Structure 1
Amino acid sequence: MNKNSKNLLRFAGIFGLIGAILGAHMAGSGSYAFRAVHAHILVVGWLTLFGWAVFYKIFQTTETVLTKLHVWSAIIGSIGLTVGMWLYMVKPFNLPEGVTLFIYIGGGVALLLSFLLFFLLTLFIKEKK
């Protein structure tokens, strides 16, 4: 299995599990405080990382700086955005707003970079035979 596909698939699985647990928690508690975080964990973490794992499995890519940057900016961005969103919106530790905003925006920027890098990758791919 392609290393990039495996890494993205494993992180997608982690995000899927966390998203399902958060959904169960919200349903059981009747509180929807995690609604936005839950949605982003599932869409950005589970769905997007899974889609990119499939991309690396189906299409021929060589291990380049571009692919490494894409995979790790996707993983770091997904973690940063969702954790930052949780810290900023839910405020579980009462951290300074500047710190939580930095994590939230930093994760979002890293994720945005991963989408740009993915677009660039699509310009140089070959279908596996």
Structure 2
Amino acid sequence: MDRTRFLLRTSAIYAFIGVMIGSHMAGSGDYVFRAIHAHILVVGWLSLFSFAIFYRLFSIPASSVLAKIHVWTSFLGTFGLTVGMWLYYANPIPNLATFNLLFFIIGGSVLFLGFFAFLLIAFVHGKHIHE
């Protein structure tokens, strides 16, 4: 799997979704989704795009298990956090409050692990990062 292409394409999808939500909020005057909109753009678009650029600029070995963990926890955590946030705040299906909360919390926790994996990559694979 090409990490850079995967993260870049995923970030483009989040950017499009974020812009759609922002356009809807601007047109309707209803800003109930502002926190979701912000997280989709910052975590989904900006962070995943930044990770894509990181993997393009620095030669982190393709065989790195840590990098694979980073990519997948970032991808799954971003999805879990943003969808979980939507489920929690919008509550589209009544009587699922506990499920919505757990989806939100687990998604955010997985994303946290993704950022922790990135921190480790910056130090473990630091020898591959040159000025």
Change (3 A) 1:95 1:10: farther
Do the aligned residues in 2 keep the contact of 1:60 with 1:128 (CA within 8 Å)?
no
2:78 matched to which residue of 1?
A: 78
Q: Please list, as runs of the form range in 1=range in 2, the aligned pairs for 1:98-117 lying within 5 A after superposition.
A: 98-117=98-117
CA deviation map 1:7-52 (0-9, x unaligned): 1101100000000000000011110110000000000000000000
2:25 matched to which residue of 1?
A: 26
Equivalents in 2 of 1:37, 1:90: separation in Å? Answer: 10
Is the aligned partner of 1:55 residue 2:54?
Answer: yes
Q: CA deviation at 1:83?
A: 0.3
Amino acid of the residue matched to residue 8 of structure 1? L
Question: What's the Cα RMSD here?
Answer: 1.5
Equivalents in 1 of 2:52, 2:98: separation in Å? Answer: 33
| TM-score, reference length from structure 1 | 0.94
Equivalents in 1 of 2:130, 2:14: separation in Å? Answer: 28
Equivalents in 2 of 1:43, 1:95: separation in Å? Answer: 30
Q: Percent identity?
A: 46
Amino acid of the residue matched to residue 73 of structure 1? T
1:5 matched to which residue of 2?
A: 4
**Unpaired runs of 5+ in structure 1?**
none
Do the aligned residues in 2 keep the contact of 1:58 with 1:128 (CA within 8 Å)?
no
Equivalents in 1 of 2:93, 2:104: separation in Å? Answer: 15
| TM-score, reference length from structure 2 | 0.93
Equivalents in 2 of 1:93, 1:59: separation in Å? Answer: 44
Equivalents in 1 of 2:65, 2:77: separation in Å? Answer: 17
